[in-house]
Amino acid sequence: MHLRHPAVRGVRVLAMVAALVTAMSSLFIFGSKRAEGAGATCAVVYQPNQWDTGFTASVTVTNDGPAVSAWTATWTWTGNQKVTSAWSAQVTQSGSAARAVNMPYNGSVAAGGTVNFGFQGTYSGFNGPPVNFTFNDVLCSGLGSSGSPTSTTSSTSSSSSSSSSSSSSSSSSSSPSSSSSSSQQGGSCPSGAVFCDGFENQSSTTPSGRWSLVHPDCSGTGTAAITTAQEHAGAKSLEIDGRGTYCNHVFASDTTDMAAAAPTWYVRFWMKHTAPLPINHTTFLAMKDPAHNNTDLRLGAQNGALVWNRQSDDATLPDQSPAGVAQSITVPTGAWECVEFSVSGANGQIHTWYNGTQVPGLTEDGVPTSDIDDQWLGGSGSSWRPQLTDLKLGWENYSNGDDTLWFDDVVLSSSRIGC
């Protein structure tokens, strides 16, 4: 038996450790497994909306690496949460471990792109956020191992990255109904669009050109102004300082262009807001419908999620049951988000896309679906055929709730636009 000097044995041990660390570095990055075909990093925004024993949650994941053609997300609950239904993903759960797999229509996520899905669940006691969230086996930032969301900004701002490939067009015509863009446009702008407007040609803080300031019903403290403080692309946007209660309604209205897109109106806009979507009903986009006594078709929020509301009979899309709300989208604060919709005057159908993904709860396809469009299509709703004549962006709150929000890169078209 040969006894080696302690220093020699120490050198060999250090060499073995170094070799082991080198081997492990090909499998793990900061404690997360490197996923084949997935980005090196990802970020997640988790937006819950809860009541006594149940909740819905919207999850937005940013893929900060190469494009993927399919994805799986996993997370761990810190309490006794149980997922009961989901949208835009197939979600399963075993114990505290949950797993979401893409649907056929949203498996592809571009480099720097986002994907959104959501679910409804039950809980008792404390409903804390999940931990150890992964996207294709990569541990994401935004939800840490402690269960507390981190203050990362990359998880909510990536949607604006698409503006780098923006298509811009300008027109010297003073006519607000000109079919070409009146200002620089961020994001997709189809060649056949009625207009693409990023508010870049606005010369003062008061909306002008195709936009005019209106206060439906009565004038209060709500304001609408062109600002350089926030922008999705370019240097300007429309800022709405929205106030609660009935008399503070304020909008920037376009009354000249909607006829050019009939009979099916496609609208796309980017929106950023500062306060969580309220529980009480709020409208941030409205369109007048002379075919139904000049009432408005309204897009806004209720119960913390996006909702369509038909003023003529107060129908909502989706139904405002917990299961219906779960099929909609909770919009995060502090981030530019892309909203697109189509409304058909020929058959009354409505389709809505959020960051490029269709939202089941904001879809009226002519076939009544429980908790989604069964109320909307009930009674005379089945024969509803709107004739929209204006487009209003602003704030209309019917109870209480303030929000400062911005609109940018607005497009009106007769066909799909995209983000």
Q: With contact defined as beta carbons under 8 Å apart, do 238 and 406 qualify?
A: yes
The reply to whether the predicted model has a pTM over 0.85 is no
Closest CA to 57 of 113, 129, 114: 129
The DSSP symbol for 335 reads S
CA dihedral for 80, 84, 88, 90, sign (positive or negative): positive
Angle, alpha carbons 334-336-337 (nearest 5°)? 115
Q: With contact defined as beta carbons under 8 Å apart, do 270 and 336 qualify?
A: yes
The pLDDT value recorded for residue 8 is: 38
Q: With contact defined as beta carbons under 8 Å apart, do 331 and 271 qualify?
A: yes
The pLDDT value recorded for residue 149 is: 35
Beta-carbon count within 10 A of 15 CB: 10
* C-alpha span between 49 and 60 (Å, rounded): 14
Count how many Cα atoms sit within 13 Å of the Cα of residue 333 in the half-sphere of its side chain: 11
What are the phi and psi torsion angles at 10 (to 5°)? -65, -40
Q: With contact defined as beta carbons under 8 Å apart, do 341 and 297 qualify?
A: no
- Where on the phi/psi map is residue 175: left (φ > 0), alpha (ψ -120 to 50), or beta? beta
The pLDDT value recorded for residue 40 is: 43
Report how far apart, in Å, the C-alpha atoms of 79 and of each of 84, 119, 130, 283 are: 15, 16, 9, 35
The pLDDT value recorded for residue 189 is: 82
Dig out the tokens for 282 from the structure. 């709020």
Q: Quote the radius of gyration of the chain (alpha carbons, Å).
A: 24
Residue at 19: amino acid letter:
A
Q: With contact defined as beta carbons under 8 Å apart, do 212 and 252 qualify?
A: yes
The pLDDT value recorded for residue 36 is: 36
Residue ranges for the chain with pLDDT beneath 50: 1-40, 144-185
Q: With contact defined as beta carbons under 8 Å apart, do 275 and 403 qualify?
A: yes
The pLDDT value recorded for residue 167 is: 32
* C-alpha span between 373 and 384 (Å, rounded): 13
* C-alpha span between 61 and 43 (Å, rounded): 6
Residue at 386: amino acid letter:
P
